[in-house]
């Protein structure tokens, strides 16, 4: 009955509790008291401030029990870890420390945000209201309470920037800080995680957690036990990033260079030989296309039993790379390599790649050498990664539009902190057009008009190719601009610093959409008053995003801290959003001579397309979690067992039970430590190998699970029915294999040479960029079939060897 009661209570909560209704009054009382202490602290020395902060660290535990009793009588900063008196003292000390070291004196609303974060909420604060400082002070507060804090951002640039920016304040408060980036070495990562506060992007943290799963020595582990996680741009990380799992792969050899199939599909023409669906996500051969492919391959029947599982799969993968993956949109070619672009960030994902067959097909398409292929070693979703932490809090400027998802998937509640100054930005209605060319003409005219006034303009585009195309159009119109995209991300800081300068036009992908503060007048602010008179920063969106929340993020770059500003978005019936989600509604609209749609009906049609896209994204997120929650549970159980093998003598004790005579002889000859390490390496190898096998099995299972839906069966039930028994065999099979290896392997004073036993660990690792849709697409299944073909021989030979052993 407990589960039923919990479910009923949850439904009632969702029905009656308003999101964003967290009471801020207790936090305001604490901040008001802290404000009264400000004058006294101004005369303190730096050393005295540090001493006062450290005194909080040593005394906090003594007062927790007393405060818990008092809260029941008078309310207070529930869950903050501080007594009200300690919280007030911390706010006063933190404000003074920030003022002295950073030249930033937190407003009262910033300290209210700090207290809400310390109480475990996701805080909504408008753009430019100082979330970075609020978060840093909250992190310091958690650290003084004895917690280890991980602050997760959407990219490496922001992680490093914020860590270095806030470091002087942390130092004065007596807490340590580190940061992790994609280029950080293992030693640098270990040092960063050893600090009280660690800044990192969510992907870097996730991949460090996955890489720890490959360690064979406890001293090599990098990520400490999870404690407190603070998520910057929480809706972006917890919602937008959640649909893409973090996947770690290991090299197993050179991939297949399928130049033959690449040449074949290059001859094919869209509309005649193949068709692309309206979503631009699936491609299929027509009868004429199949005939052309068969002719080019020497007259084979690609649908025959002999070729349907091999040749046809190769055709489908090559065609997917040819027709659906576009240079400068989905990937760049730089330094002789294909570099993927993370769509939600607009940045290059240096260590990410597609699954083997598709990666090789794109490389062949670009005439590049095919890189190594690999096996999936482990994977984790953002939701499972965040779920490891006992305490979650976060901050963003657009929490309320994602409130339902944040609560549904993370049980996160929203505290809405009002701005220090009212927002006076003017947001114009979206301008809608029948064709993309008419939209582009109107965008260029809008930018030209604002530029002629001397007003700074920030233009938000959807991808690299669009940013460069728009730059060419502006050049033709004699409007100079600066382009910021994945190709020049190293220049981001300088470009953004001057994006608010007089007459500056900045064309950017999503990179400039989050975590950046554009100051009027540029980095030195010399033209600030002049630009204020002109109306502030003008934001131009070249298309509607799949979620209105993403549009609001771009709008939020203007109008910070009561500054003037404006925004306007442009969209067309030929945009991907409309073509995918509301083509019928757009077809009913009538345009004027300039091909522009006007009237309420047009606005409603485009808003409908956006709502449909949001619904699709939410359902994919739900489906992803329904499937991956079981895998996450299984991964946790395997990780616990692996950790026991890694940190204890369990493997050696098990070997002694299974082969007592050999174990005793080896101990006598080589010593207990050598035998224990050898047994550990053997056990870890076989456990990791069985887990990788299990993940491959689950991938194959999910690729075929859509057939159950077609048969009117519940795919999720069938997935669980197959996945659970398969998992239950892992530990037993791994233990049996480890026992066999321990009995036959050559173990010397140098340890055990697993390579000579044919048990080779991956020589290199990277990450896969995948679209985690449980039902998959035809392309997903084709890629899966190609992977299965490539892995089949290796897996079969391994199992044959095991059965022989």
Q: Please calculate the CA angle 300-305-311 and round it to the nearest 5 degrees.
A: 50
Longest dimension (CA), the chain: 93
Report whether 116 contacts 24 (CB < 8 A): yes
Q: At what angle do helices 131-144 and 156-173 cross, to 10 degrees?
A: 50
CA–chain centroid gap for 734, Å, is 32
Say how far apart CA 569 and CA 606 lie, in whole Å. 12
Say how far apart CA 371 and CA 365 lie, in whole Å. 13
Judged by DSSP in three states, 515 sits in coil
Say how far apart CA 686 and CA 697 lie, in whole Å. 16
User: In sequence order, what are the residues at sequence separation of 6 or more whose Cβ sits closer than 8 angstroms to the Cβ of residue 102?
Assistant: 133, 165, 166, 168, 169
Token pair of 169, please? 């304040």
* 3-state DSSP of 223-277: CCCCCEEEEECHHHHHHHCCCCCEEEEEEEEECCCCHHHHHHHHCCCECCCEEEC
* Binding-site entries for ATP: 110, 128-132, 517
User: In sequence order, what are the residues at sequence separation of 6 or more whose Cβ sits closer than 8 angstroms to the Cβ of residue 765?
Assistant: 211, 214, 248, 249, 250, 251, 374, 377
Report whether 776 contacts 706 (CB < 8 A): yes
The count of other CB atoms within 10 Å of the CB of residue 758 is 10
Say how far apart CA 717 and CA 705 lie, in whole Å. 10
Cα–Cα nearest to 246, from 149, 409, 386: 386
Write the DSSP symbol of residue 79. T
Pairing outcome for strands 747-748 and 751-752: antiparallel
Say how far apart CA 550 and CA 345 lie, in whole Å. 11
* Binding-site entries: 110, 128-132, 517
Say how far apart CA 609 and CA 581 lie, in whole Å. 5
Q: Quickly list H helices, 335-482.
A: 356-365, 382-387, 403-410, 436-453, 464-476
> Distances from the Cα of 798 to the Cαs of 680, 734, 759, 764, in angstroms?
21, 13, 9, 20
* 3-state DSSP of 458-471: EEECCCHHHHHHHH
Q: Which residues does residue 482 pair with via DSSP β-bridges, in sequence order?
A: 506
Report whether 489 contacts 349 (CB < 8 A): no
Judged by DSSP in three states, 540 sits in strand
User: In sequence order, what are the residues at sequence separation of 6 or more whose Cβ sits closer than 8 angstroms to the Cβ of residue 279?
Assistant: 580
Write the DSSP symbol of residue 767. E
Report whether 455 contacts 531 (CB < 8 A): yes
Kind and range of the H or E element at 596?
strand 596-597
Neighbouring C-alpha atoms within 13 Å toward the C-beta of 151: 34
């Amino acid at each position: 009955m407990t589960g039923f009661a919990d479910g009923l209570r949850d439904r009632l909560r969702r029905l009656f509790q308003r999101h964003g209704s967290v009471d801020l009054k207790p936090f305001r009382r604490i901040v008001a008291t802290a404000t009264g202490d400000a004058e006294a602290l101004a005369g303190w020395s730096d050393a005295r401030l540090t001493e006062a902060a450290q005194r909080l660290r040593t005394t906090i535990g003594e007062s927790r029990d007393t405060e818990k009793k008092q809260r029941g009588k008078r309310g207070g900063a529930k869950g903050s870890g501080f007594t009200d008196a300690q919280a007030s003292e911390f706010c006063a000390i933190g404000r003074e420390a920030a003022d002295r070291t950073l030249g930033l004196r937190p407003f009262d609303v910033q300290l209210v945000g700090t207290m809400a974060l310390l109480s475990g909420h996701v805080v909504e604060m408008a753009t430019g209201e100082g979330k970075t400082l609020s978060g840093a002070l909250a992190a310091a507060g958690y650290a003084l309470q004895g917690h280890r804090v991980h602050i997760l951002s959407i990219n490496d640039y922001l992680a490093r920037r914020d860590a270095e920016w806030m470091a002087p304040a942390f130092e004065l408060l007596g807490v340590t800080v580190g940061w992790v980036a994609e280029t950080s070495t293992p030693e640098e990562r270990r040092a960063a995680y050893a600090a009280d506060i660690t800044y990192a992007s969510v992907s870097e943290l996730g991949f460090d957690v996955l890489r720890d799963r490959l360690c064979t020595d406890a001293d090599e582990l990098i990520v400490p036990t999870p404690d407190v996680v603070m998520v910057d741009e929480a809706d972006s990380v917890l919602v937008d990033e959640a649909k893409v799992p973090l996947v770690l792969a290991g090299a197993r050899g050179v991939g297949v260079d399928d130049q033959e199939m690449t040449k074949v599909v290059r001859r094919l023409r869209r509309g005649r030989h193949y068709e692309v669906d309206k979503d631009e996500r699936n491609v299929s051969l027509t009868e004429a296309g199949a005939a052309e492919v068969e002719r080019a391959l020497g007259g084979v029947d690609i649908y025959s039993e002999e070729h349907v599982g091999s040749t046809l799969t190769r055709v489908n993968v090559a065609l997917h790379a040819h027709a659906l993956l576009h240079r400068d949109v989905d990937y760049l070619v730089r330094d002789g390599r294909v570099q993927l672009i993370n769509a939600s960030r607009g940045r290059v994902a240096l260590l990410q790649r597609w699954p083997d067959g598709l990666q090789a097909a794109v490389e062949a398409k670009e005439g590049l050498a095919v890189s190594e292929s690999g096996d999936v070693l482990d994977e984790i979703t953002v939701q499972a990664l965040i779920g490891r932490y006992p305490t979650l809090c976060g901050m963003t400027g657009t929490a309320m539009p994602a409130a339902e998802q944040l609560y549904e998937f993370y049980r996160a509640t929203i505290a809405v902190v009002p701005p220090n100054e009212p927002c006076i930005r003017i947001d114009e209605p979206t301008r809608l057009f029948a064709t993309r060319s008419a939209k582009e003409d109107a965008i260029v005219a809008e930018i030209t008009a604002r530029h002629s006034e001397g007003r700074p303009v920030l233009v938000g585009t959807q991808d690299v190719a669009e940013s460069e195309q728009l730059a060419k159009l502006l050049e033709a119109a004699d409007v100079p601009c600066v382009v910021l995209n994945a190709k020049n991300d190293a220049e981001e800081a300088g470009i953004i610093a001057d994006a608010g300068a007089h007459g500056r036009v900045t064309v950017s992908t999503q990179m400039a959409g989050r975590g950046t503060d554009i100051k009027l007048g540029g980095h030195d602010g010399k033209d600030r008053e002049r630009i204020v008179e002109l109306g502030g920063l003008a934001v131009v969106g070249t298309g509607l995003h799949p979620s209105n929340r993403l549009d609001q993020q771009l709008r939020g770059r203007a109008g910070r801290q009561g500054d003037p500003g404006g925004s306007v978005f442009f969209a067309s019936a030929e945009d991907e959003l409309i073509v995918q989600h509301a083509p019928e509604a757009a077809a009913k609209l009538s345009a004027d001579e300039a091909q522009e749609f006007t009237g309420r009906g047009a606005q409603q049609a485009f808003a409908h397309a956006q709502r449909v896209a949001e619904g699709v994204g939410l359902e994919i997120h739900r489906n992803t979690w329904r499937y991956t929650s079981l895998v996450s549970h299984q991964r946790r159980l395997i990780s616990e067992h692996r950790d026991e093998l890694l940190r204890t003598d369990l493997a050696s004790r098990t070997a002694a039970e299974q082969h007592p005579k050999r174990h005793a002889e080896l101990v006598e000859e080589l010593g207990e430590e050598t035998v224990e390490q050898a047994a550990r390496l053997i056990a870890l190898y076989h456990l990791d190998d069985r887990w990788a096998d299990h993940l491959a099995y689950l991938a194959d299972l999910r690729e075929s699970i859509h057939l159950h839906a077609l048969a009117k069966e519940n795919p999720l039930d069938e997935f669980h029915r197959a996945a659970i028994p398969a998992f239950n065999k892992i530990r037993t099979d791994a233990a049996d294999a480890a026992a066999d290896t321990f009995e036959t392997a050559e173990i010397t004073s140098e340890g055990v040479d697993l390579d000579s036993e044919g048990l080779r660990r991956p020589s290199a690792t990277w990450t896969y960029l995948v679209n985690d849709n449980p039902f998959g697409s035809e392309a997903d299944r084709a890629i899966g079939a190609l992977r299965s073909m490539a892995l089949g021989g290796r897996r079969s030979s391994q199992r044959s060897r095991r059965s022989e052993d």
